Structure 1
Amino acid sequence: MANWDPSFPPERVLWYDEYIQRQGPITVNWLQMPRLPDDASRTEVVEPRGVALYRPDNTGEDDRVETLLAVSPLDDGSVCLWDVNGTRAGRRGAIVARSRPGILFIDGPDADNRRRSKRVDSGVTECVSVDSHRHRAYFAVQSHLIEVDLQRLCVVDLESYPWSITAMSAASPHVPLTVGTSLGIHLHDSRVKQPPRNDSNEFVDGLNTLSAQHFYERSLRNLFLDEPLPPYASLSQPGPLSILHLQHPGQEVSVSDHLYVAGRFSNILHYDRRKFPSIKDTIYSGASLCSMTSLPYPFSSVESELRRMGQLSQAQVKQSKSCEGGGRTLIACGDYNTKGALELYGLSSEGSAYLSPGEQNQFHNRSSASRSRLLSVVNHGTRIAVSDGTGCIKWFERDGFTEVRSCRIGHSEMAQGPSIFASMPGSDDIARKLLPTRDAAASRNPGVNDNDLLFWTGDKLGLARVSAQQPGFTAEDFEASRDVLLRQEERASEEERKAYGDMMRQALESQADDARLVRNLGLGSGHYR
């Protein structure tokens, strides 16, 4: 049992809930689809182009369910928020707020934004990052980083880069946001505001009326100033796809100064923020990687293999899991020779890959991970969750080799009617991005349904959860509820029109009675007025 135990000493695991997470039935739910506001028939859907999680209450110190919202940029240039836990809308997966269309377009909402070059690039997976402490979201729109206030749903700032943005790190209130463009790595610190220029009328109250074009022109003017440009790390090969901020050893949420970059190149790049933009070192992978995550606990491929075969004593297991040495684990996924690749790297306390004498710190699962490309990897409880190109979500042990379970997310037909391709083989949706719903900083004990998986398919949002009691929901359920609400609104409007007509009729009859009374008394029209 000590060899099998996947947890580390600082972690608290409810084993009853852990058993249900590993053996219980999985339901795949589909969140409500947003629709065009000016569509009279309400049949045209607007596709989300990315997703990130927003915790506006920053709870986790009590037993009540925290408010959890999914944030996504829509294809019409608006920002949409969904209720994941059902605390705001009273129902899981329902839309709770949506900005006006076009706020993410560079030319503004009133310009011609039909061209794809003005919208959020659907090929960029990491295009949204949310800072829940400051209630801000960052959206990558082509070569521009747009900052949106999530409480007012309006644009508050924009920064332009010389190349298209292909990846962003997770936002943190304590360290700058790392932005990856096609040919460089940049640091964006929203806490440092540039002073307003004398030739621009910039003020806080006017940000709501200014279009994104104003911020874009301001960024272009700053490029020609005499002030030196912020330092950035140039890339010899284009295409960063994932940027990871590494934690401190043994701490889930405390971010260190080490950051890693992976993408369409054979090495994982390691930078130290204190010495940026100089590169610290690299880790050779040989695979094309598109997603990364990490554990603040040590990893050794030799000890992991011995634990898998149950050959370590309790003292050896305790020693291998000890965090006193400051080790950490870097987890990456992608493809190697058209097959899925799941890779684990042991890191030292300085954040670098190390090799002890006679010990290997790397493990590459390129045979049994998946027969197609792995698209996303996250830590899900005491397991590693990945999604692949066949439409499956798989859970592995922390050794990266032992598969725990898997499920197929299936296909969600939108409310406008079933497609003729829905019944064809290989028509299932693919989870391009996975996000665990439980916050790693939560101090309360997690329940069995507190750690679900939110996923984005490229045009829809879904939720995979272990639930034996509550049935799943689909996008069509919200359409049925919307039809009921529309009929109720129509009946209410008809009753209001009828009541208004009765009131006007009574007023006219009363006015006619007054006019007859005036004539009978012989008074003039002036007295009547």
Structure 2
Amino acid sequence: MASLGSLPKELLLHILSFLEPPELVNVQRVSRDFSKIARDDIVWRARCLRDSSYLSSLRSRLRLHDLNLALLQAANGGRFSLDEDGDANDDTWIKSISATGADEDRIIRDQRLERERVRITANWDPIFPTEQVSWYDEYIRRQGPISVSWFQMGYTHGTKSRSAADFVEARGVALYYPEGEERLDGKILAVAPLDDGSVCLWHVGGSSSTKRGAIVARSRPGILFANGPSSDNKSRSNKVDSGVTECVSVDSHRHRAFFAVQQYLIEVDLPTLSVVHREAFPWSITTLSAASSVVPLTVGTNLGLHLHDYRSRSPPRSDIVDTIDAFDGTKTQPEDLYAGQYRQLFDDKPLPPYAPLAQPGPVSILHLQAEGQPDSLSDDIYVAGRFKSILHYDRRQFSRIKGTIYSGANLCSMTSLPYPFSYTDSEARRKGLLSLEQVEKSKSAAGRTLIACGEYKSKGSLEIYSLPPDGSVAHSRVSGELQKPARNRQTCASSKLMSVVNHGSCLAVADGMGYVKWFERDGFTEVRRHKIGHSERFEGPSIFASMPGSGDLARKLLPTRGAAAAVAENTNVNSNDLLFWTGEKLGLLSFSRQPGCRPKDFEMDEEEPPSPEQLQLEAEEKAYSHQMRRALERHANDVRFARYLGGRGPS
């Protein structure tokens, strides 16, 4: 009798498609061939749709349509009835097909139902033709369990206690890929400035020798103070501004990190954790763009935008390194360096070219991707903040504004997709109304997508804008419908949205109630949500832990892997987690039943090793206790022997 593995792969895949997801996962353990077949994209794509909220909403809409049709026929004297369960099951996606096909041949009816399934699947499918995705990973992110891991906390240098008073808060976060972002299986580190002026690195994924979420390196304190390590570290005006969310930016290819500290931009070499450059700006820095090795860094100050091209700077010589070391604190009197910085602020020379802002307060700067190329950047720069419009600049014509997009909301985070967006087509697809040809035409059109989030009238606002393709006329001049944005200000969140990122085929947002929510790319269909909760670092019950609203909230979200990581064959499955920053601590949302790390996992690592004097004292106490135990044993033996002799032995 032939074994199951000897069957053709097509037939074996058809057999496995009848299994439930937990059973399909167990099949993957049989062999490599079974593992490859059990992760087929067609099977898991169908599973994603079957268990999606999109299909549930479509079924509810169909039931409402059937009730309206029944009332209309009842008013006309006709008869109409629903299924026994009153639901549109997998065999009755569209009731009209079942009704019209009742008198036709069963085969023809099944063919119509199959075509309707394909059409509904095309309306739901969020993937574009040139985009690649692993549907097995997508199902895990959409339906799998979620756990929250809290990273190791930093403490004040030189303290032996580990109390809450010694905890040093993190003031921002960015991801660092030491082996390059193109290494999909490489190491991932989180970079954050601490409140004591030091730079800290955490291992995000963990390794055989390092726990997940553990601190792997930390610089000496004070290197990020605005006035230097020897200044007053208790002054808040000397530290990283806690109100600036985008205060860290990392260039993984050059291994450099940029920190916004008041009006200074401090550049740190990550392998050595030393300061290599420092530049002063005329106003306080409120946001930084993402650093890239191909375009300059865009610095947003309170009253203007500046281009900081660190790539053109020549490498430091040995004598310059000595000066930098003096700034880092190896010498106690670096007054000359700071005097030069202050002279730069009050210099009579005109400022370098910059883009002035009519209204202060930029919060987010986005370097837009090139059309159809997720890994390439265009010359478009978009700025959002405490003003009602999104500002558009062209890097080739910088300092002159190119255009604006009116929002009306206070926006605080932006992301983009190098693929087109149409409000009309998106609404029709959400209702399952487009044909296959219309869906294909909508996805293959030219253009890009801008996604923003923030607050509108004390509620969350998730906004999606259609942007013109490179070098073409804006959509607003061609068709007003294409330019119309999708603004979800009713159902996305009851409080402000803090951050938005692309996470696989979904949009992930963090709100002010402590929830992380995933939406389809239409901005309205919610996929799932998860509450971050509260991290109790120190033992002992807390009366505030169970109170509503006592949990932490994510001010910033970062996916650990890009979109290309999901399609590499040598990439670990389920490796795209969400790193979040609460304003004080770092955590990780992973799709597993057990968290990767807990605060108590690092307690042994946080304990300082005992000194030689303590080891000697412990050894003496151990020897003394051993001698006392032997003496007591001898005395007990003498007493028992004396009782045996009738009291004539030693007392």
Q: TM-score, normalised to structure 1's length?
A: 0.87
Q: In the alignment, what sits opposite 1:154?
A: 274
Counterpart of 2:462 in structure 1: which amino acid? L
- Secondary structure in 1 matching 2:136: helix
Most deviating of 99-108 and 329-338: 99-108
* Number of aligned positions between the proteins: 489
CA spacing shift, 1:418–1:274, aligned 2, 3 Å: farther
Partner of 1:367, secondary structure, is coil
User: The residue matched to 1:208 in structure 2 has which SS?
Assistant: helix
2:575 to 450, 453, 457: 450
Alignment-mate amino acid for residue 454 of structure 1:
L
Distance 1:287 1:336 in 2: 5
Partner secondary structure for residue 374 of structure 2: coil
2:385–2:412: 8 Å Cα contact kept in structure 1?
A: yes
For residues 561 and 257 of structure 2, the distance between their equivalents in structure 1, rounded to whole angstroms, comes to 19
2:547 and 2:157 mapped to 1: Cα distance?
Answer: 33
Are the aligned partners of 1:36 and 1:45 in contact in 2 as well (CA < 8 Å)?
Answer: yes
* Aligned-residue offset at 1:388: 0.3
- What's 1:476 paired with? 600
Question: Is 1:404 the counterpart of 2:521 in the alignment?
Answer: no
Which of 381, 385, 397 is residue 275 of structure 1 equivalent to?
397
C-alpha deviations, 1:489-512, integer Å up to 9, x for none?
56997279979xxxxxxxxxxxxx
Query: Which one has a larger percent helix, Structure 1 or Structure 2?
Result: 2
CA contact (8 A) 1:18 1:448 kept: no
- Shift in CA distance, 471/226, structure 1 to aligned 2, threshold 3 Å: closer
Measure, in 2, the Cα distance between the counterparts of 1:11 and 1:474. Answer: 36
Aligned pair 1:135/2:260, yes or no? no
Kept in 2: contact 1:53–1:71 (CA 8 A) = yes
Pick the structure with more strand per residue.
Answer: 1
C-alpha separation between the residues in 1 aligned to 2:217 and 2:455? 37
Aligned to 1:519: none
Whether the 8 Å contact between 2:181 and 2:252 is mirrored in structure 1 is no
RMSD: 2.7
Of the two, which has the highest radius of gyration?
2
Deviations 1:460-484 (A, max 9, x none): 100001114x4442222212x326x
Instruction: Output the CA distance in 2 between the equivalents of 1:162 and 1:416.
Output: 46
CA drift of 1:317 comes to 1.2
Q: What pairs with 1:175-324 in structure 2 (closer than 5 Å)?
A: 175-193=295-313, 203-211=320-328, 215-222=337-344, 228-322=350-444
Structure 2 residue aligned with 1:378, among 497, 501, 507? 501
1:51 maps to which residue? 173
Other structure's SS at 2:295 match: coil
Consecutive unaligned residues of structure 1, counting only runs of 5 or more, are 500-529
Distance 1:61 1:78, change over 3 A: closer
Structure 2 counterpart of 1:367, from 466, 490, 494: 490
Q: Aligned partners of 1:293, 1:142: CA distance in 2, in Å?
A: 25
> Of the candidates 454, 475, 479, which is equivalent to residue 354 of structure 1?
475
**Which of these residues, 13, 18, 21, is aligned with residue 133 of structure 2?**
13
2:618 corresponds to 1:494? no
Q: Deviations over 1:407-466 (max 9, x none)?
A: 000000123755442232211101000000003454725544211000000001000011
Change (3 A) 1:217 1:177: farther
Contact 1:272 1:280 in 2 (8 A): yes
- Shift in CA distance, 143/449, structure 1 to aligned 2, threshold 3 Å: same
Alignment partners' CA distance in 1, 2:599 and 2:591: 19
- TM-score scaled to structure 2, two decimals? 0.71
**Rounded Cα–Cα distance in structure 2 between residues aligned with 1:174 and 1:59:** 14
Which amino acid in 1 is paired with 2:282?
P
- How has the CA–CA distance of structure 1 residues 92 and 316 changed in structure 2, closer, same or farther, with 3 Å as cutoff? same
Matches within 5 A, 1:14-33: 14-33=134-153
Change in 2 beyond 3 A, CA 1:111/1:342: same
Contact 2:174–2:190, Cα closer than 8 Å, also in 1 = yes
What secondary structure, in the 3-state scheme, does the structure 2 residue paired with 1:112 have?
coil
Give distance in 1, aligned partners of 2:340 and 2:431: 61
Query: Contact (CA 8 Å) 2:160, 2:608: kept in 1 or not?
Result: no
1:334 aligns with 2:457: no
Q: Following TM superposition, by how much is the alpha carbon of 1:192 offset from its aligned partner in structure 2, in angstroms?
A: 2.9
Contact 1:346 1:353 in 2 (8 A): no
CA distance in 1, matches of 2:251, 2:340: 24
Aligned to 2:147, the other structure's residue is in SS state strand
Q: Please give the alpha-carbon distance, in whole angstroms, between the structure 1 residues aligned to 2:611 and 2:237.
A: 40
Cα distance in structure 1, aligned partners of 2:179 and 2:344: 36
Structure 2 residue identity aligned to 1:434: L
Structure 1 partner of 2:194: 74
Residues 134 and 360 of structure 1: CA distance in aligned 2, closer, same or farther (over 3 Å): same
